[in-house]
Amino acid sequence: MKYLSNKNGFLGIDNKFNFKEKAIVIPFGLEKTVSYGSGTRYGPREIIKASHQVELYDEELKCEPYKKIGIKTLKPFKIDKNINKALKKISAINQEVLNKNAFPLTLGGEHSITPGCIKPFVNKYKNLLLLHFDAHADLRESYNGEKFSHASAIKRCLDNKNISVISFGIRNISQSEIPYLKKNSSRIKIFWAKDKVKWNLNKFEKMIKNKNVYITFDVDGFDSSIMPATGTPEPGGINWDEAINIIKIASKNSNIVGADINELAPIKGFNSYNFLVAKLAYKILSYKFLLK
């Protein structure tokens, strides 16, 4: 695997710092099926660029987590225009990361990357739980004639019988998705955005206890007031503290095995949105490795 130098990679760490990587950041700017706003192919580049401004010390964890983790970043590489070939590529990369006993964090790109990202985990674990942050359920069988659309990402994941999903922040779902949702209620649990004030996170804690969990975070899960830099922004979403608390609960109570963050479509001159995603990525890695 070919890596960027520490200085050019995620967090912009000094090149003199040596470590054995426990986490590998994978820039994968796939943009093939976007249906409204575009620009997700630039997401990984801008997240890594913004990460160089993230303070390395975490006041909550009282340390510089990167020193305890060891984070390397893959060099950007060509992504096949054929979506099936592209998904096979990210599957192969994540398999290679797992073979190194490392933790893969993929930076998208559109949400259609997730079925490819999770394939090695589907094969490795008897049961895998997706912790899914999103404005949309993504349960369509296809969208605009594309089976692997970003609007079908979770449906494609659920094609694997050993997958279940807990979704947070959903506030936009089509009528065509409802029958599938009802039929698979034992595998799909949704914490609807409209019910935020009534969310029972103690129940969530019990639901994920001792499970193998993969995090897929579509940034349009955030409220559009703090995250407009995405192809399909929606009002009424999750705020920063809510998202971080959910990830913290998951990290304390389950085995987080991998993650992807997707659907950032950078807006020129508005770096705060890129920075938010960069800090989210650092938080996911910090909680994964340092929370007990």
Encode pLDDT of 144-157 as tens digits. Answer: 666 777 779 999 99
83 torsion bin: left (phi>0), alpha (psi -120 to 50), beta (else): alpha
Asked if residue 277 lies in contact with residue 47, where contact means CB atoms within 8 angstroms, the answer is yes
Give residue 166's pLDDT: 98
Asked if residue 218 lies in contact with residue 136, where contact means CB atoms within 8 angstroms, the answer is yes
Give tens-digit pLDDT for 22-80.
999 999 999 775 555 568 899 999 999 999 999 999 999 999 999 999 999 999 999 99
φ, ψ at 133 (rounded to 5°): -105, 130
What is the average pLDDT across 134-150? 82
Give residue 39's pLDDT: 81
Q: Which residue has the higher pLDDT, 37 or 230?
A: 230
What is the average pLDDT across 123-133? 98
Q: What is the Cα Rg of the chain in Å? A: 17
CA proximity to 108, closest of 284, 285, 277, 242: 277
The tally of CA atoms less than 13 A away on the side-chain side of residue 121 is: 28
Give tens-digit pLDDT for 166-203.
999 999 999 999 999 999 999 999 999 999 999 999 99
Q: How far is CA 219 from the centre of its chain?
A: 8
Give residue 119's pLDDT: 97
Give residue 34's pLDDT: 54
Distance CA 66, CA 72 (A): 10
Mean pLDDT, the chain, rounded, equals 94
Q: Which CATH superfamily is domain 23-290 in?
A: Ureohydrolase domain (3.40.800.10)
User: Which runs of E-coded beta strand occur in the chain?
Assistant: 23-28, 71-73, 103-108, 128-133, 163-168, 188-191, 212-218, 255-262
What is the average pLDDT across 88-99? 97
Give residue 288's pLDDT: 98
Model confidence, pTM: 0.95
Asked if residue 118 lies in contact with residue 78, where contact means CB atoms within 8 angstroms, the answer is no
Give residue 32's pLDDT: 72
